[in-house]
Structure 1
């Protein structure tokens, strides 16, 4: 029996030493291949997807409404026609959904100036126009904010001095961008009251440093994309009406 154990140990030692003496290293080489027009199209794939591409393009380019003038986010200092339009669309489209689910009404809307990703040119407005304005998959949410959090929101707007789109809110600033007056639904802001503020899920999670939206009293998900709200609004109006007004101004 001892001779068998000795032979077994010798065999194991031999195998271990053999493995150590062999080199298992391998050389790996990589090459970057540019995906550009130099690569020929696969005609079979192109033919297969052509009907789907035509259908998508027809859907995106079908006329939904008419825009009588060019709209750009650079057209105003503290509020712009296109920003007002987007905030008002969110208010109008999201309110029925929110009321049906909660029995409550949205008090205010806040979006961000940088979230407007394109201008809206004069002429026919299509679903593709909405994709240009909002190319992201942002969802509409409603944050229930305390009066103290609403004051933080106002402080944010004061510090920014930027045309962040708002609706349901009227804010007056002096020449130093200090808020002199602020109302929601034409009433002074009550520090003991909670307010329902609609925004995007990106901003509610602290995007653009809007940290006052985080940890609200309660958060409501509407399962409604901001872009879809824009498309639905375009579908139901004949002519877009947007203008710079007094919702956020220097007094």
Structure 2
């Protein structure tokens, strides 16, 4: 008897689901579709409403904050790149302003989303480089965690850093220096990065147990903008170079 009741219940549910699917399918077939193309006439009232905001936004995005002598390029297949070095140097510059004890900076290749073309650098260019709402983070790490960072760089073929020198030979660490000195596993180091990576983004695990962590309200792209503006105030242009901070010897 119980089995019969169960089968009846299952049969009822099946009929109900089938009915719902049939009704849903029938409703979709009755839908009306509109093609969005150039034949649609723009609503002038809407255009007039947003036009002032659009003009203001474009003016800000086109504002020049600096100048690049040459094309500053990314290269995800190389241990270091012009863009990666510029990015990491700007991050270290800001980290030291926030905390003079900061010794190094760390970013990832995938986090840098655009090059800098030769010529004027605009606010819009900086947004293209870093479109995300990431903020600056300063971590106090143990020497052993810095070595884990180096291992990650070995496995991923190098990442953007500043204040660090890493030489990789035959898939192993040959030399790893912070501010020109070998890592002391028992020492503490201050490193500046951004919250996405500090939270474990890009499969990063070596930031999982910092001695201390400080997140700032400073957006990463604001940091890059300030760095370029500071160079401009000094009468300097953005001029990145490959300096061997990350090397792979096969």
TMscore range, shorter length: 0.7 to 0.9
Specify whether residues 43 and 197 from structure 1 end up closer, same or farther in structure 2 by C-alpha distance, changes over 3 A only.
Answer: same
What residue number does 2:133 align with? 137
Partner of 2:164: 169
Contact 2:77 2:157 in 1 (8 A): no
* Offset at residue 76 of structure 1 (A): 7.0
- The 8 Å contact of residues 89 and 162 in structure 2, kept in 1 or not, is answered as yes
Which residue does the alignment assign to 2:155? Answer: 159
Aligned to 1:185: 179
User: Does the residue aligned with 1:212 lie in a helix, a strand or coil?
Assistant: coil
1:1-251 alignment to 2 at 5 Å? 27=23, 29-30=27-28, 31=31, 37=38, 39-74=40-75, 77-99=78-100, 105-162=101-158, 164-174=159-169, 176-238=170-232, 239-250=237-248
Name stretches of at least 5 consecutive residues in structure 1 with no aligned partner: 1-24, 100-104
Displacement of 1:77? 1.7
* 2: CA distance, partners of 1:115 / 1:68: 23
SS at match of 2:50: helix
**TM-score, normalization by structure 2:** 0.81
SS class of match (1:237): helix
Describe the shift of the 1:114–1:33 C-alpha distance in structure 2 as closer, same or farther (beyond 3 A).
farther
* Superposed CA RMSD: 2.2
Q: Residues 123 and 40 from structure 1, CA distance in 2 versus in 1: closer, same or farther, beyond 3 angstroms?
A: same
Q: CA deviation at 1:107?
A: 1.4
Q: Runs of 5+ in structure 2 lacking a partner?
A: 1-18
SS of the residue 2:138 aligns to = strand
Tell me, in whole angstroms, the C-alpha distance in 1 between the residues paired with 2:133 and 2:73.
22
Q: Give the 3 Å change call, closer, same or farther, for CA 60–214 of structure 1 in structure 2.
A: same
1:74-98 deviation per Cα after TM superposition (whole angstroms, max 9, x unaligned): 2872111110000000111232123
Q: 1:143 deviation in Å?
A: 1.6
d(CA) in 1 for partners of 2:102 and 2:37?
48
Q: Would you say the 8 A contact 1:79–1:244 is kept in 2?
A: yes
Using the TM superposition, give the Cα deviation of residue 115 of structure 1 relative to its aligned residue in structure 2, in angstroms: 1.0
Q: TM-score, normalised by structure 1?
A: 0.81
Post-superposition offset of 1:204: 1.1
Kept in 1: contact 2:85–2:162 (CA 8 A): yes
Aligned to 1:144, what secondary structure does the other structure show? strand
Larger Rg: 1
